Chain A
Amino acid sequence: MSSHAKHMSDDSDETRKPREAVIELENVTKEFALEDSLLDQLMGRRTTITAVSNVSLTAYEGETLGIVGESGSGKSTLANLITGLHTPTQGTVRINGEEVSSVTRRSPELLADVGVIFQNAKSSIDPRLTVRQAIAEPLKTQGYGRTERQERISELLELVNLSERYTDRYAHELSGGQAQRVAIARAIATEPRVLILDEPVSALDVSVKGSIINLLMRLQREFGLTYVLISHDLSVVRHIADRIAVMYLGELMEVGSAEPLFETPAHPYTKALLEAIPDTDPTTSVLDAFVLEGDVPSPVDPPSGCVFHTRCPIAEDRCRRDVPPVVDVETSASRCHFAKRVRAEKEEVQNP
């Protein structure tokens, strides 16, 4: 594994007042062992894949940190490291300044502080529980009494705009949007500080998607929640994220403030991702855009040097050889030898 003298820093916009860090990842690496043959195991040969490689990232109080990247880039592993479903192979995860380990060893207070919402709400709700029972579960573990629970459930249903008549329904009797509202009610039941949103609207229709995003934005305003939003739908990330981390093959490629990152990306991977989004502007088409070829390479045998060089349109010899340093380009930190050039080119296109 490569070691870097300097890591992706989040201090790029110093103009803002110092904010409290809610989640801090420091040099976090997560490796998974592959199932080797018995012979290999006896010989002591182990194959591991690195799902998350040396990632340092901070989510500040009240902000939305978007994490984007293709499938296989390590986004969900990163989320699982925060929730404690995985424990890091190396590095530390801190929540509220306190170092945390796996979910089973976390204190009830800490568990209450982190809520999770998954992509498929219907399958994340126990099919044998009614809406009321599903929302009551986290309350029970937090020691709410029976009457307190009922009050809190009514309050929560109102918060997520779900009528009381749904409380005795089962997950399969709900529409996708309603199920996602139940999942949100359950996630915020314990008054968490942080919500991990793992593809929260990917499975929903465009009209319903909007109402769930509106709900999430309203809850964030009301309760000052911190969001870690994982999505491959870049138009959603663009809409609600304050800062964005772009991942590729387990490594951070670019971290920066959302708007400048979308306008003038400083990494060729970010640029390629953005150009691939189809929009309704009739003057542009993905058919004319530069399109990344092939798939994300196998993490068993990651490329040398810069992990992106096999698909990068501007890769040179040194990209194959040297791991690029992290370069600060205004509001972004980009891991590319040519970060400044990439950003300047984009600016030129916009203001010729």
Chain B
Amino acid sequence: MTEPLLSVENLHTHFETYDGTVHAVNGVSFEIGPGEIVGIVGESGSGKSVTALSTMRLEDPGRIVEGSIRFRGTELTTATDRDIRQLRGGGLSMVFQDPMTTLNPVFTVSEQIVESLKVHDNPEAQTLREYLRIPFFHDRTDWRKKRERVVELMEEVGIPNPAERLDAYPHEFSGGMRQRAMLAIALASEPDLLIADEPTTALDVTIQAQILKIIARLREERGMSVVMITHDLGVVADICDRVIVMYGGEIMEHGPVEQIIRNPQHPYTQALLECMPQGTQRKEKLETIDGQVPAQLGGITGCPFASRCDYTHDICWSGDMPTVDCGENHQAKCCELQRVNDGENATHSSNTGGTL
């Protein structure tokens, strides 16, 4: 691989709460190369979104307590607000899950795209005056000049009749259209890396397929890298090159998509894949993972998955788990990997036994 675009090393993000410190991200390391689509999967509470937010330096109210994030050679954990702002306007963009709450309801969609264009051109030139529509005191002549570019962007993300929709407000858009508008805003700054946090979770399958196609096309055309956060392994299998499986704030398994889907090594990845209804005969009982994602208060010793794993041994409850190479660019973090994949019987079969 060539020089990575983004490299995250031993990232620790904590949240202070009344109940104690929550270790949301616990020693996460990965790299994203140019033009790659990398998926991050895991259940709610596994630290996917906090990893993404930390990368954008939007982790507040959390705190990055350890580790480094380097984007195109710039160290983000120590960068000034100003430098980070320039990167967000220039190289890094993010798309969130719920486009209704991320779009500003009182500005038209096109204005919000123009804003992103302006920030890209000149990250320091935003003035309050331009936003307050007080007669004689605001000047938005250069906003109007950017309208052509807005139409182009809207076309690129598949918004039909963009010229007619320039004056539309977010509530006049359907869910899929809003997510496309979010994508247009993210693309306005011509990012090298797009972080998409569950971009299609709230959408219909047909619209999801449209958005995935657009993202794949943008990667082809612009050579843009994408970090795709999702809980749908189907989406990962269809669009990503590599996948990172997270649980309890740690990376459980990391490798090429085909490897992980066909030959998962870590018991958590295996359990996640078995949960998919596609793998089970119609009307048969579905596989489940018993128990809950740990609360991560005060940090976890041992493997975070130990309480739900079928292969748990005494050593799983304490110490650091080793990261084992199990193929080209394929690693799993488990101390019982040998036993898991020798097909030895599980110590207890909570997945198949019990009433449910």
Contacts and interface: CB of A to CB of B under 8 A. Distances in A.
Interface string B250-291: 000000011001100000000111011110101101111100
Contacts of A213: 277, 286
Contacts of A234: 205
Contact of B239 (A176, A205, A287): A287
Contact of A207 (B275, B277, B355): B275
A90 B273 CA distance: 46
A211 B356 contact: yes
Interface string B199-210: 000001111111
B213 A286 contact: yes
A272 B209 CA distance: 11
A214 B213 contact: no
B152 interface: no
A280 B278 contact: yes
Contacts of B43: 205-207
Contacts of A260: none
B231 A206 contact: yes
B287 A210 contact: yes
B204 A239 contact: no
Contacts of A238: 277, 282
A281 B237 contact: yes
A123 interface: no
B283 A240 contact: yes
Contact of A239 (B207, B209, B283, B355): B283
Give chain B's interface secondary structure class.
helix
Contacts of B235: 278
A288 to B, nearest CB: 9
Contacts of A291: 206, 209-210, 213
A300 interface: no
A294 B160 contact: yes
Contacts of B286: 209-211, 213-214, 239
B286 to A, nearest CB: 4
Nearest to B204: A70
A282 B237 contact: yes
Nearest to A289: B209
B277 A285 contact: no
Interface string B305-337: 000000000000000000000000000000000
A285 B208 contact: no
B276 A280 contact: yes
A289 B235 CA distance: 13
Interface string B19-49: 0000000000000000000000001100000
A287 B216 CA distance: 8
Contacts of A72: 174
B233 interface: yes
B246 to A, nearest CB: 13
Contacts of B292: 175
Given A215-B356, A280-B233, A295 B174 contact: yes
Contact of B278 (A175, A235, A240): A235
A206 B175 CA distance: 23
Contacts of B355: 161
Residue from A70, A205, A207 having most chain B Cβ neighbours under 10 A: A207
Contacts of A215: 356
A295 B213 contact: no
A279 to B, nearest CB: 5
A214 B232 contact: no
Nearest to B235: A278
Contacts of A279: 234, 237-238, 278
A72 B206 CA distance: 13
Contacts, number: 132
B212 interface: yes
Residue from B272, B278, B288, B292 having most chain A Cβ neighbours under 10 A: B288
A148 to B, nearest CB: 25
A282 B283 contact: no
A265 B208 CA distance: 21
A217 B175 CA distance: 32
Nearest to B175: A71
Contacts of A176: 44
Given A280-B278, A286-B212, A210 B237 contact: no
A205 B232 contact: no
Interface in B337-354: none
Contacts of B283: 217, 239-240
A70 B272 contact: no
A212 to B, nearest CB: 9
A309 B234 CA distance: 29
Nearest to B160: A294
B177 interface: yes
A101 B233 CA distance: 44
Contact of A287 (B207, B213, B276, B277): B213
Interface string B204-230: 111111101100100000000000000
Nearest to A278: B234
Residue from A175, A205, A211, A293 having most chain B Cβ neighbours under 10 A: A205
Interface in A227-245: 232, 234-236, 238-240
Contacts of B239: 278, 285, 287
20 contacts: A70-B204, A71-B174, A71-B175, A205-B43, A206-B43, A207-B43, A207-B289, A208-B288, A213-B277, A235-B278, A239-B286, A240-B283, A280-B278, A284-B238, A286-B209, A287-B238, A287-B239, A293-B210, A294-B160, A295-B174
Given A206-B276, A215-B356, A287-B213, 14 more contacts: A205-B231, A214-B356, A218-B356, A236-B277, A238-B282, A239-B280, A276-B205, A276-B209, A277-B205, A278-B212, A278-B238, A285-B238, A294-B160, A295-B177
The 3 A-B residue pairs with the shortest CB-CB distance, nearest first, are A278-B234, A210-B286, A207-B289
